[in-house]
Structure 1
Amino acid sequence: MASSAARPSVVPQEQLASFQQHLSRSTRILALLGAGLSASSGLPTFRGAGGMWRTHDATSLATPEAFERDPGLVWQFYSYRRHMALKAKPNAAHYALAELARKRRDFITLSQNVDGLSPRALHPADQLKLLHGSLFDVKCSDFFCKYFESNNYTDPIVPALAIPSDDSDPTTTSTLAAKEADISDINVDIPELDHSHLPKCPECKSGLLRPGVVWFGEALPRHVMEHVDEYMTDEQPIDLIMVIGTSAKVYPAAGYVDLARSKGARVAIINMDANDVPAGGLQDGDWFFRGDAAQIVPELLKVVIGEIDVENMGDAAEGA
């Protein structure tokens, strides 16, 4: 797991030493993750293209009402996202955080990401709280059916949802290299699909399956929130919260930063944008590390996890 190759530091030494000294004596640690963590894995966030997918506002497709109105369109959008996420690979930050979880059992990660990269990096499941669900969970859309399946990596989930490609294999990487690389491309046909083409619930036989993500207007997963609340309200202090790839300006994320502070935590922010800081702003004693999380996070955590070899860890994860 260790790598002998020395890399130049990407973090100012004084800040690095200060952070690592605190990390070394920290036991109860939180990480709050956002889309910026996966940027080095090449995943689009739909922000860089003006929030558009084809001719559609991506946020308009992430609602229960949109699924009820046109489940075929919504499933094509999410099938595309599943496809892109499966073509991406966890980066060094995903693996570093997973290793920290193995080293510190009182470390939990609160992820706003649905891309499945943290689970694929073998992040211990009991220490990973997916606040917004996962693209690779599916559940029945029928109100009376409780069917739920996790870690469904079938691509496409049904044949009709294959991503258009010039190759005979609709899942080849040429899709990424060509038109699928442009998430705002309006020249890709979006066929109309009726219910017969879409994934059906294997339990009730009548309901459509839907992506197991939290859509706008829906509550966050109750079991996840209960676990997080239990951790946050424990009488023990919190030593550190790392805010990685997110501005944490939207609740409940912003509230977790504030609550961790109130329980004694120091705050470390890792982000590309110097303006992306939590709602409460920077305070004395905080660290701000500007740059690529895939480079910065492994260096910050090295004092606890050692050097990581992403290639070997990736091979181990793919074989698990």
Structure 2
Amino acid sequence: MARKVILTGAGISAESGLPTFRDPKGLWARFDPMDLATPEAFARDPAKVQAFYNDRRAAARAAQPNPAHLALAQLQRARPDEVLLVTQNVDDLHERAGSTDALHVHGRLDEARCDSCAHRWPAPARMAAGDRCPACASGLARPAVVWFGEVPEHLDKVAEACSRCDLFVVIGSSGTVWPVAGLVDIAARAGAQTVEINLDPSVRAGAFDRVLAGPASVRVPEWVAQVLAGRFKL
């Protein structure tokens, strides 16, 4: 089992041009998530919801991995089977950077799923309100992302890994989204060393043993280089 768990949030993709959610210029400062990111919103106005996610899907496909994504992929290649990469992001920048087996706890924009039978398939560039599930033919196709009021994916597996890890690192997360924000507490109780890498310290910075402040595209490659050289010490 992986002994090092790395959790990434919107901040790591912000430097690739993708907006975050909760900062003053983030998505939820410009849009009401209750109108766009809930099962009720989809039931009420599927066309509006699909249009919003079509735009986000296009933006994600146009974005490119930045040095932070590339550094984490390098770490995974250098330490196979030792690093579990977990992301709150719904883009595929980790995969395009070369990372493998990243667990997307909030789902993926490049996948669609049925709102009835839960079948998943690759999402087309644009999805429409009347699209149907190719498996059951009756359910509506929706973005395979986790909306408000829904349970994050892979959470049991991630929590189990945190309970056994010796290092837990959070990169570019606001620390305000639960239950994911509580993973550091699980790791700390297990005796793991805990590190936050963020542009600015998050609201949960006090829960970490060490906080490295600065842009992810700078701080993450620096940290990975130190780890690979055996020079990173808390």
Question: For 1:210, which of 142, 146, 163 is the aligned residue?
Answer: 142
Question: Is the partner of 1:136 in helix, strand or coil?
Answer: strand
Question: Is the partner of 1:109 in helix, strand or coil?
Answer: strand
Within 5 Å, give how 1:131-142 maps onto structure 2: 131-142=105-116
- RMSD (Å) for aligned C-alpha atoms: 2.2
Shift of 1:305: 4.9
Q: Is 2:189 the partner of 1:227? A: no
Question: Is the partner of 2:170 in helix, strand or coil?
Answer: strand
Question: For 1:114, which of 74, 90, 107 is the aligned residue?
Answer: 90
**Map of 1:261 onto structure 2:** 188
Q: Is 2:200 the partner of 1:273? A: yes
Within 5 Å, give how 1:62-101 maps onto structure 2: 62-101=37-76
Report the CA distance shift for 1:62/1:93 in structure 2 as closer, same or farther (over 3 A). Answer: same
Question: Is the partner of 1:226 in helix, strand or coil?
Answer: helix
The one-letter code sitting in structure 2 at the alignment partner of 1:120 is R
The separation in 1 between residues aligned to 2:227 and 2:118, in whole angstroms, is 41
Q: Deviations over 1:244-296 (max 9, x none)?
A: 1113243222321011111121222111123x1427x156xx22211110111
4+ residue runs over 3 A deviation: 303-306
The separation in 2 between residues aligned to 1:230 and 1:257, in whole angstroms, is 12
Shift of 1:225: 2.1
The separation in 1 between residues aligned to 2:151 and 2:136, in whole angstroms, is 24
Question: Is the partner of 1:119 in helix, strand or coil?
Answer: helix
The separation in 1 between residues aligned to 2:162 and 2:207, in whole angstroms, is 21
The separation in 2 between residues aligned to 1:247 and 1:290, in whole angstroms, is 13
Q: Is 2:119 the partner of 1:147? A: yes
Pair member with larger Rg: 1
| Percent identity for Structure 1 against Structure 2 | 44
Report the CA distance shift for 1:51/1:250 in structure 2 as closer, same or farther (over 3 A). Answer: closer
The separation in 1 between residues aligned to 2:68 and 2:199, in whole angstroms, is 14
Shift of 1:100: 1.4
Shift of 1:200: 2.2
The separation in 2 between residues aligned to 1:287 and 1:220, in whole angstroms, is 27
Q: Deviations over 1:280-318 (max 9, x none)?
A: x156xx222111101110111114558xxxxxxxxxxxx
The one-letter code sitting in structure 1 at the alignment partner of 2:161 is Y
Tell which has more relative contact order, 1 or 2 (C-alpha 8 A, sep 6+): 1
Query: In the alignment, is the contact (CA less than 8 A) between 2:159 and 2:186 conserved in 1?
Result: no
| Aligned residue pair count | 225
Query: In the alignment, is the contact (CA less than 8 A) between 2:20 and 2:27 conserved in 1?
Result: no
The separation in 2 between residues aligned to 1:140 and 1:231, in whole angstroms, is 29
